[in-house]
Amino acid sequence: MSDNEEVRAPKRQKTITNQDAPMPAPKPRVPSLKAPGPLFPSLQIPKAKAATGQTPTPQTPTLSTSPTQSPSVRRPEATVDICDDGDTVLVVSSLAGISKPMGIRVSSTVLTLASPVFKRLLSTPASLYAPASLATPVSATPAASGEIEARLIHLSDDGDSIYMLCNILHLQNDKLPTKIAPELLFRFIATSSKYQCLVAISRACGQWLDHIYHHLSNPPNGQLIFQLIETSMILNDAVYFARFTSKWVLSTPLGKTAGEVVQEPSRQRLAGLLLERQKLVQEDLKKDLDIILDPLAEALSEDARHYV
């Protein structure tokens, strides 16, 4: 054996030793969770920009524009345009999961024609509101000469509900979500009722009620179905009122009182009517069972024993 072979021999043995060693266990892979889809897929919230001559700050200082009553002006982080040339910016505390002041640019003419509450709100003198240079950070430039500056109006309502309501009033139904959670639907109905726009939004809620109806848990939640009954009644939707009522009557345990169904006295009248309907259904079921059992009872009676 030559010197080179003697040198390579221990290296070959070392390599074989490494191959015989146990392989380390593979690290378990943690499954990646996909983030839930956005509530409004078509909603694109622009980044906030400072207007010309302004330094971007987290919050604009308080500005007094009237000696009588002037609310503190909070500059929204961004403004979403429902109406591109709108003359009013509605500021809400949150929108689409963003817990920051957000602006919604709308047309005061549309809101005035659709809602008497908005009509009274927008009839407030413009001097009580801030100019558009502080209220519209997305435009990034002051209003040109001859253009009407938008008014900044702060609302304490749910931001998602206001956004959906304004889209419906501006005939922008294509921007609405295809399905929403029942809790958001209840907030949306309450906001629409406050602004007296139930007639305008009633037909837009049909697809949301349909999705909720076909995705109820089994057995369904009695309190949730009762709220959906109230919602369909407020919307004057006879189809889903009948569907949710039938499901509630068939799934609610027997022997309950109106006070056990709901605690609020103003809602107990509807609960009492539903319980009466449940008793009528129970009596009808007993009558149907009697019709089925009467022939059997006659066939198995003492008089008919010799036929058996």
pLDDT tens per residue across span 143-171 = 444 455 788 999 999 999 999 999 999 99
What are the tens digits of pLDDT across the range 3-25? 555 545 444 444 444 555 556 55
Dihedral in degrees, nearest 10, Cα atoms 112, 115, 121, 123: 30
pTM of the model: 0.68
d(CA 148, CA 89) in angstroms, rounded, equals 12
Q: What long-range pairs does 257-266 form, CB within 8 A, spacing at least 24?
A: 261/222, 261/226, 262/226
Query: What is the sign, positive or negative, of the torsion defined by CA atoms of 181, 160, 167, 157?
Result: positive
- The confidence score (pLDDT) of residue 149 equals 72
- The confidence score (pLDDT) of residue 65 equals 30
Residue 168 in domain: yes
- The confidence score (pLDDT) of residue 219 equals 85
Q: Which residues contact 233 (CB under 8 A, 6 or more apart)?
A: 241, 270
Residue 91 in domain: yes
Q: Which residue would you say has higher pLDDT here, 229 or 72?
A: 229
Residue 93 in domain: yes
Amino acid at 45: I
Residue 268 in domain: no
Name which of 210, 269, 260 is nearest 235 in CA terms.
210
The C-alpha angle with vertex 208 and arms to 207 and 210, in degrees rounded to 5, equals 65
Hey, what are 40's tokens? 């409004």
Residue 17 in domain: no
Q: How many residues does the chain have?
A: 308
Residue 161 in domain: yes
d(CA 165, CA 171) in angstroms, rounded, equals 10
Average per-residue pLDDT for the chain: 78
Q: What is the percentage of the chain residues whose pLDDT exceeds 70? A: 66
Q: How many CB atoms lie within 10 A of CB 43?
A: 14
In DSSP terms, 218 is beta-bridged to none
Amino acid at 171: L
pLDDT tier for residue 293 given thresholds of 50, 70 and 90: confident
Mean pLDDT of 198-226: 93
Strands 151-154 and 88-92, how do they pair? parallel
Q: Which residue would you say has higher pLDDT here, 66 or 288?
A: 288
Domain holding 162, by residue range, is: 42-52+68-176
Q: Residues 243-274, buried b or exposed e (16+ Cβ, 10 A)?
A: bbbebbbeebeeeeebeebbeeeeebebbeeb
d(CA 208, CA 176) in angstroms, rounded, equals 10
Element counts in the chain: helices (H) and strands (E): 12, 4
Amino acid at 43: L
Mean pLDDT of 76-80: 90
Name which of 245, 235, 237, 242 is nearest 189 in CA terms.
235
Which of 43-47, 160-164, 212-216 is the least confident region?
A: 43-47
Q: Residues 112-145, buried b or exposed e (16+ Cβ, 10 A)?
A: bebbeebeebbeeeeeebbbbbbbbbbbeebeee
d(CA 306, CA 300) in angstroms, rounded, equals 10
Residue 239 in domain: no
Looking at the structure of the chain, the number of domains it has is 1
Residue 207 in domain: no
- The confidence score (pLDDT) of residue 34 equals 43
Q: Are 137 and 75 in contact (CB under 8 A)?
A: yes
